[in-house]
Amino acid sequence: MPMKSSNVVWHTATITRDHREKQSGHRSVILWFTGLSGAGKSTLAHAVEEHLFQRHCRTFTIDGDNVRHGLCADLGFSSDDRVENIRRVGELAKLFTEAGVLVLTAFISPFQADRDRVRALVPDGEFIEVYCQASLDICEGRDVKGLYKKARSGEIAHFTGISSPYEPPTSPELTVNTGEATIEACVAQVIQYLEAQGII
């Protein structure tokens, strides 16, 4: 995406990311939770954040619905708007890592190319793709927001899993069975990964 101004110069801060990570006592990474609507992305992300907070980690969760009330309020759900939505969130998440924060994001983010674009924003090992695996039948059975019913009746166009595709991650760092496992087991799996990687 071309810059709208050529009169922009990067300012190098005196307080670096390394300083902030040392103050936080942990590394800063992006935990990117992806999956169908109703797969449990937000539930898991917030549960993981609660666990990390109890361990005195600096965290922030960026939720797909919430950003559409502000940062991405001007976007719809066309393919182009979905791409821009994820681009903005990726840049925001990168800023949080620079602040020394463990940032968790909960987005359907249906296209692999968009997730890969966010991955490319940060160094290797700092984008952790967490595939919240739950079948369409399970997600539609939950239908916690009543969206599948509306999509089936034609009230919602471009709905992921019904009238718009979802591309499952090809090689996620973590696959969590949010369709069948308990929330406690899912949280434990994510925390064990973070510990094993020396992030926390």
Catalytic residues: 109
- DSSP element (H, E) containing 54: helix 41-54
Q: Are 86 and 144 in contact (CB under 8 A)?
A: no
Q: Are 136 and 161 in contact (CB under 8 A)?
A: yes
Tell me which residue of 103, 112, 90, 132 sits closest to 30, measured CA to CA. Answer: 103
Strands 127-132 and 30-34, bridge-based pairing: parallel
Q: Are 38 and 108 in contact (CB under 8 A)?
A: no
Q: Tell me the C-alpha distance between 71 and 76, whole Å.
A: 12
Q: Tell me the C-alpha distance between 130 and 118, whole Å.
A: 14
